[in-house]
Amino acid sequence: MDTEFSFDFDKQEKKRKILRLIIRIAIWVMCISGAIVLGYLFTVVALEKTNMVGSGMEPTLSDDDILIVNRMAYLFSDPERFDIIVFNKSGKEHRVYATRRIYGLPGDTVQVKDGAVFINGEQIEEPINVDPMITSGLYEEEVTLDDDEYFVLGDNRNDCEDSRYFNFGNVSREEIIGEAVIRLSPFSIISKLNLKEKTEEEE
């Protein structure tokens, strides 16, 4: 007696194709969703928009300039000399932050004399265009910074409050919100603003 054995290969192949298509669509949806979530977290958690308050950073930054702050800049590394940081001196949450440039790092010995900044006995070579300082304030004599302290100055040296003054003081590590990286209008990379022109020898 003949036994018939039939198997619908076309039907099974169609099922496999449909399954592969469903898997591809699911992966595509997960990738798109993940990208959207990561983008949202990056813009909300990593970056913050704030305004420059006051004239303390002129001519680099002006009052009411809109700044983008990289909140993740110091997650895996420490602030560096000449970084422009945004910080909260009160330690409380609010939308108005201070913005200054770092000169003294934790453990440095800092002094302001003859209108210039001296770090560990050596005069700092300014990377930016600034006026000589008229007032030394608290740093007329050498001061050694604590392990979590940063000595900051405004670029508008003779018309701003900064670490030279008692009511402003040094900035602690925990007070730093992040690094100011972009000025929105006119659009500029902040680290490229107000730099001294290089001489032929330096180039």
pLDDT, position 30: 86
The Cβ of residue 177 has, within 10 Å, a number of other Cβ atoms equal to 19
3-state SS assignment for residue 163: coil
Alpha-carbon distance of 56 to 153, in angstroms, equals 9
For residues 80 and 20, give the distance between their C-alpha atoms in angstroms, rounded to a whole number. Answer: 51
The encoded tokens of residue 177 equal 């919100």
CA distance 119 to 139: 11
Segment-wise mean pLDDT, segments of 10 residues, the chain, 203 residues = 56 78 86 72 75 95 96 94 91 71 98 97 95 96 97 96 94 95 95 81 49
Taking the C-alpha atoms of residue 16 and residue 36, their distance in angstroms, rounded to an integer, is 30
CA–CA gap between residue 157 and residue 141 (Å, rounded) = 18
Distance CA 144, CA 120 (A): 9
Q: Which H or E element spans position 34?
A: helix 9-41
- CB of 151 within 8 A of CB of 170? yes
48 close to 68: Cβ distance less than 8 angstroms: yes
Q: Give pLDDT, residue 200.
A: 46
pLDDT given at position 43: 58
- The structure tokens listed for 114 are 């003859």
Rounded Cα gap, residues 174 and 165, in angstroms: 20
pTM, two decimal places: 0.78
